[in-house]
Every structure is written in structure tokens, then in C-alpha cells.
Structure 1
């Protein structure tokens, strides 16, 4: 029997939001679709036979969340959209899940943990490809290395991004790369940290990036030193180096206008044919104070496809009452093997 408990999908008219809405319908879920663009929202809701509510983050959220048990927040950049939605969820007593991979946004959610516990609400950022597979792999390895003090993660399979994801990356113009040292988040110069990581076909140059695990892996594993790297495909290399040498210009009003024009020129996101058959690969290495290391590798379906799979599975778990109140990470609540419950996911140690 389809689950009928109401959950609200905010950002339903965006690229990832549309993927989630269709995938939810295929799973027998009936989300309330929510966004600010009523004509597009109404057309989409009519096509899928779903209820819709119009709301902007600045106004209308309280009414939109009326009677809602769970919110799946898919409207980025989360640095600007996360806080008003979390505020509304806490007022409404609705559990909050999002697809953020932004370090600052995730840290902001964890700062609301005590308030969430008081209100009996779970706040769980990063329920998509950012950060479910990496979070699960990090916790799996850390449990086998007692006293692990250092974690290195690597991400591959990000050759295609949506227009919205590009805008999120563009928000980082002029900003440093974030890592964690001694439990504290620190800034480093873009491009200054590089490593050779093996994603399955030999070592590849990878660049440090501000990825959500700099935040979430700390709360999942307790490891104090965390760095996250991405496979240095040419487009990423150019973006990082442009930020290193021309970050000030890119962060100016003129630079941001140029980045917005570039975003508008991009396709909305990869087509089903482009996503088909692609993989995401996560590698991780944990190290203890004596220098003992353990490495692991995790393969998943393509990132956008897998984000829909993990996010909706977590919505189902929360609707069924399987949750822990407060600010949480996917692996801390559902365990390191949660990611292995999905088809075409493979984990190995090496």
C-alpha cells in the first residue's frame, strides 16, 4: 500500500526537484510539491496527479507546512535557503531533510541541534549523493581503526552538473577551500592541496574541495582532521585555479554577473541518456596516531540518480518513525551499511 503520510518537497520545479517528484511517484509516495513559481508548479502537479502549495522562503512557509510531517528541501544554494526552511520546520514540528553538500550550511543546521531536540524534530542535511555514500564509507572504516585521527575522502563521477549545482559552485568564488584540523574548520588556498587517489583505475590527481563531509564526517566519526578531494577533471581544475588567481574578480558584482550568464547558458541538467550507465566513486582513507591506515572504495549509480534513491529512502524511514531527534547525519542514525541496501552499490577495502 502506498505511503500516504504527507511530506513536502520544496524546490520541486528545479532540476533535482523534478527528478525527485517523479521518482517519488514511482515509489508510491505522494509528496506535496512546493515552490515559488506557480505556473510551472501547477503544470507539474497536474502531470503527476499531486497536490501543490506555492510558497517563497521569505513568506508563506508556515501555511505550506501545515499538516506536513517531513520536508525534503531541494532548493539551493543552501547557504541562503537552508535557514528559513529549518526555522519553518522547527515552528511546525516537521522533520527536515535536505540535499546540501555545503559545509557552512550543514554547520548551520548542526548549530540548531539542541533546539531540534527540544521540539522533537530531526534535522538531517546531506541526504543525497552529498553525503550519504561518503558518510557511510567514512564511518565503516573509522569503526575498524581505533583512535583514527585523520580522514581523507575522494569523490569521482561529477563530470556533469546541473545549472543549479553550477550556481552553488559559483557562490564559492573568492572563497577559500575548507578542511578540518583538530576539530576546527580552517581555510586553505584553492589548489594548494592535491593528492593522488585511486578511484579504481590507478592514481589520479585530485584537488581539495569544500565538500559536505568536512562537516558531517566529523559528527559521524569524531575524527578531528578531515580533507575532501575531487577528481581533478579539466573543468574542475580550471574552476579551482580561476578561483585561486582571479577569485577577487569573480566575486565582484561584474564577476558574479558573468557567472550568472554562464549558468543560464548551461543545460538544466544531464539527460536520462547522459546519466544512464554512469557511476559515482568514493574513496576513503583513515589513519591513526601510529600511522596505521585503512582504505576503502565505494561505487554507486550516477550522482543525481542516486541522490533521488537515497533521499526518498530516508523520507520513507522518517515517515515510518525511524528517526532520532536533533541534528543528525545519515550514517550516524542509519549505520554505515545503509548505503549497501541499494542496488548497484559495491564496497571494498584495499
Structure 2
């Protein structure tokens, strides 16, 4: 098997962190992207090969992929970038990984059509190999294992509010629609709902958000009712409902573009000290029609740090022939439900059923 692999969007916040850690580990990814100055500068600094290519350059993109075993796609917003990269990967028989958290991207990547085409090409399509959605995907799989007849799954995480530019832009895109949950197997838009959740320090008000597990947890577990929450201040719930009522306005192109330009000017992403000082707390619960419940929680490093370690562990496993698959697959399906607990500084799963 070839062992060349590519990080696309290498000048982005998370991609640069991944590239630097990969170099420390003796890995030699090809750094690629459309920003010639930034990609070349990073590649020169790390002593790695660089490829300058825009996703709109279909033939050139395919030429750059023909010798690659795998692409780790890091250029967001993925709603705009995943399709050209995914199509090029299928055409060149290159495994496709990305670090998205966007529900629509997961739904497309896990569609029957894409999965079948990936199988025919002999590749795996595995979106969401960073913080979105490795920890919650493994948690969902463990909860399903604990209660095989579960019909409902709720997940939650508490994290620092320091965002990268890419994450912030994705959040802006979600302001143009309702929150999303899965009900009876189908994804639907709702006004955000609330519940109380104990992350280990007492109960807190939490609100639903359109997180990737609304898609991926269904594919990993088969559970047909899924919602994801984050802790919030009560005033935030009212503010979010107001935004959702005015979603037509926040979804306008000029509003989206103006907000994203402000993000580019003002947000650079958390530095190492901020990341180290802000771990992430995860919680999950399943229940069945008889009222049986299982609840668990654990802690991971900051989400951006996990978006370094998880993708690199998965890339290494594929490159070294430790795992293999074809078609569309979730992180827990590829690496096993215990995968996240093999990563640094992840605490053991704590079962907290009454």
C-alpha cells in the first residue's frame, strides 16, 4: 500500500496544529491548499512537500491525489468544500477523512449512493475524525452497547468558548436555520429545547444544538431519536429562540458574508495555554421503551487538541494497515467504540445511573 497522505487546507487553524504534530511524530504528510504563500511557508518550515491547488481545479486536484492513500480534508466550511474533495477522492481511489461537524455533510457522506460509489472505488469515506465527532460517537456506541434496546439517545458536551475561525464560520451558517434533532429516524428542525444535565459538578441548564451526532450516532448505533446539548445561561435560550425566529434574516447571503469577514479579522483560535486550561466534559444517556436508562460521562482534553490526536491516530492506523474498510463509515465503526479512550488524557468512562 502507498503511504503518502495529504492534509488539505493546511494553512487553517486545526490543520496547522495537525501538521506540526505529524512532523513531530516523524510523519510526512503532503501539505495542500489554495493559499500559496501560507501553505508554502508552513511546508518549508516543517520540511514537508507542498501542493498548491484550488478545489475548483478538478483535473489538477485529481492529479495531486493520484499517488495519495488518504486525504485529511481540513478546509471549511465543509458545506462548501466537501463535495469537490470527496468526488476527487472517489475518482482517484483515495480514502477520504475530514474534521467536519456539519450535519448536512455527514448525511451526504453517509448516503447510500456515496457509500456504494466508495465501495466500488475501494475506499473508505470517514467524515468527522476530530472532536467532531470522535468522543461523542464512541460514547454513543458505548451507551448502545450498555442498553442494546435503546430507542432514545441524548448527548452533551461542555467546552470552552474559544473558537477557531473555521468553527466560528460554521456556527454562523447554522444561524440561518432551526436546531436539528433526529426523531423516529428522520432529521427535523425544531426551536431549541432544554433539559438539566450533570457534567459532574451538579445539574446545569442545557440547550439542543445542531451537532454532527444527530447524523453520525444514528449510523453508528441505529438509535432513531437523537439530540445533542450544551450548557447555557437561561438568557441564551431566549436569545437563540429569537435568532431562530429571524433565521430568514441571518441566512441572507450579505449577512452571512459580513459576519464571516468580521470573524476573519477578529478570531484567530485559542493558543496552547488556553487549550491546556480548558478540557471538555462529555455526557450521554440512552433509554428504551420500558424506561430503562444508562447514563455516562467522561472528560477529554480541549476539543482542538483532540482534533490533533484523533485524526493522526486514525491516519496512522490506515496507513499501517491496522484497520481497513470500504464505503461510508463512522469513527467508532472504523476504530472501535473504545477508540477515544486510547487517546492521551481522556478519563475513563464513568457510569452515573441512579
The two structures share one fold, judged by TM-score above 0.5: yes
Query: What whole-Å deviation, never above 9, does each CA across 1:298-339 have from its counterpart, x for those lacking one?
Result: 210000011110011000011122121110001112211111
Secondary structure of residue in 1 paired with 2:350: strand
> Is 1:102 matched with 2:102?
yes
Q: 1:239 to 1:72 in 2, by over 3 A?
A: farther
Cα distance in 2 for residues equivalent to 1:168 and 1:247: 15
Match of 2:305 in 1: 305
Distance, in Å, in 1 between the alignment partners of 2:108 and 2:144 is 25
Task: Report the Cα distance in structure 1 between the residues aligned to 2:144 and 2:155, rounded to whole angstroms.
Answer: 12
CA deviation vs aligned residue, 1:39-83 (integer Å, no higher than 9, x gap): 111111000000010111111211221200010001111111111
| Structure 2 CA distance for partners of 1:270 and 1:4, relative to 1, 3 Å | farther
Compare 290-299 and 226-235 and name the one that shifted more: 226-235
Structure 1 stretch 227-236 or stretch 102-111: which is displaced more? 227-236
Q: Which runs of 5+ in 2 are unaligned?
A: none
Kindly report which structure 2 residues correspond to 1:145-156, keeping only aligned pairs within 5 A, or say none: 145-156=147-158
Superposition misfits of 4+ residues, deviation over 3 angstroms: 233-239
Q: Which stretch has the larger CA shift, 81-90 or 263-272?
A: 263-272
Return closer, same or farther for 1:287/1:227 CA change in 2, 3 Å cut-off. same
- The equivalent of 1:203 in structure 2 is 203
Note the residue ranges of structure 1 that are not aligned, 5 or more in a row: none
Greater Cα offset, 170-179 or 90-99:
170-179
Residue 230 of structure 1 deviates from its aligned partner by: 1.5
Matching of residues 123-162 of structure 1 within 5 Å = 123-162=125-164
Give the match's secondary structure for 2:174.
coil
Distance 2:199 2:124 in 1: 34
Match in the other structure for 2:9: 11
Mean Cα displacement is larger for which, 41-50 or 153-162? 153-162
Contact map agreement 2:97 2:127 (CA 8 A) in 1: yes
Q: When the two structures are superposed, what TM-score results if normalisation uses the length of structure 2?
A: 0.94
Aligned residue for 1:295, secondary structure, equals strand
Structure 1 match to 2:87 = 87
Q: Does the 8 A contact of 2:2 with 2:68 survive in 1? A: no
Q: Distance in 2 between matches of 1:132 and 1:151?
A: 16
Aligned ranges for residues 189-200 of structure 1 at < 5 Å? Answer: 189=191, 191=192, 193-200=193-200
Distance 2:9 2:69 in 1: 17
1:54 aligns with 2:52: yes
Which residues in structure 2 correspond to 1:319-334 (within 5 Å)? 319-321=319-321, 322-334=323-335
TM-score (norm 1): 0.95
Query: CA shift at 1:239, angstroms?
Result: 6.7
